[in-house]
Amino acid sequence: MFAHQSAHRRYAGAVRVLVTGGGGFIGSHLAERLLDDGHDVRVLDSFATGRRSNLQHLDGVELLEGDVQSYERVHNAVRGCDVVLHQAALPSVPRSIQDPLTTSAVNVTGTLNVLLAARDAGVRRLVYASSSSVYGANPALPKREDHMPQPLSPYAVSKLAAENYCRSFSGIYGMSCVCLRYFNVFGHRQDPTSQYSAVIPRFIAAVLDGRRPTVFGDGEQSRDFTHVSDVVEANVAAMHSDAGRGEAVNVACGHRITLNEVVRLLGEFEDRDVQPDYLPPRPGEVLHSQADVSRARELFGFEPRTSFADGLRMTLEHAREVAMR
């Protein structure tokens, strides 16, 4: 089975938690933290985008292979669980533009299956991984949860639709669902090889390979990059709370940085001048993103702990270690 390096800390509040998409980037970090906290952890993943290698260091995870598009698979996975952390999704704006039907099938119908199974199994709390992309074309900064969503891409539409299902199930069936809107999560275990990879792993891979990072647009677009450790903290806080039923809550660092500044920082960490290649902007992507995280602070006591510079340095160092193996 999986060998986990950290000692588990059992405590009286241990529960059984299902992490859908637990073989993915964020899901595997959640599974690791939950094991460390002494919980019983079950993972459901189809491994369409997740990786078994992300779980190999974990001892005690109950692994079920299956797709959230199958109610039967989801129902079997949810059975006996107290909490569901629903991370499974088909990510990427560009992918959704190329194939909106599959994006909707996984992100919307898949979430509906998870909600139905959680309702039928009497799950105490469901935490849904949503996305800042739902704000879309709304230019207001920082983004607050009461701002009108204006999704641009099919991916953003699918995330907002799933949020609305969570609200509906909270209101109609009395379920305790909360939606966490992640802002540009980064950290180790992000796959830099896919054509749909997020910008940070792509930049790091290019820099370590001695290539020029590719920037779509002029590089002055800005993002609220959020280290994965803060996203994990938010999920843990949300699963232990009953606050925010039916709500969407921002999870982010609360600051924004341009892509040009990201490239400059990577060059500074590598002690060399790094110059990007600029290509035309891609459709469906927003220019600027920054979160107001006061609602998460109010509901869950959430405080982002990892600055962007520290998180980027840690991620770069980890990627360098992996490249040298």
The type of residue at 68 is V
Report pLDDT for 285.
84
What pLDDT score does 7 carry? 36
Q: Would the pLDDT of 6 be above 60? A: no
pTM, two decimal places? 0.94
pLDDT digits (tens, 9 = 90+) for 303-320: 999 999 999 999 999 999
Distances, alpha carbon 300 to alpha carbons 24, 115, 173, 242, in Å: 25, 22, 23, 9
User: Does residue 154 surpass a pLDDT of 60?
Assistant: yes
Residue 232 has pLDDT above 60, yes or no: yes
Architecture of domain 16-186+226-254+293-305: 3-Layer(aba) Sandwich (3.40)
pLDDT, residue 238, reads 98
Place of tokens 């699963």: 239
Please write the tens of the pLDDT for every residue from 69-116: 999 999 999 999 999 999 999 999 999 999 999 999 999 999 999 999
Residue 286 confidence (pLDDT): 86
Write down the pLDDT at residue 164.
98
pLDDT tens-digit readout, 11-43: 347 899 999 999 999 999 999 999 999 999 999
Domain extents in the chain: 16-186+226-254+293-305
pLDDT at 128: 98
Residue type, 159: K
Closest CA to 47 of 3, 90, 103: 90
C-alpha pair distances (Å), 148 with each of 40, 135, 202, 248, 256: 38, 7, 31, 12, 20
pLDDT at 4: 43
With 80 as the cut, is the pLDDT of residue 5 above it? Answer: no
| Mean pLDDT score, 171-180 | 98
CA distance 265 to 254: 19
pLDDT band at residue 200 using 50, 70 and 90 as cut-offs: very high
Q: Summarize pLDDT for 269-303 with one digit per residue, the tens.
A: 999 999 999 999 998 888 999 999 999 999 999 99
pLDDT at 193: 80
Percent of the chain clearing pLDDT 90 (strictly above): 90
The tens digit of pLDDT for each residue in 210-228 reads 999 999 999 999 999 999 9
What was the pLDDT predicted at 324? 87
Percent of all residues in the chain with a pLDDT value above 70, rounded to a whole number: 96
Mean pLDDT of the chain: 94
Q: How far is the CA of 215 from the CAs of 105, 189, 194, in angstroms? A: 30, 22, 16
**Residue 111: per-residue pLDDT:** 98
Distance CA 316, CA 262 (A): 12
Contact predicate 9/39, CB 8 Å? no
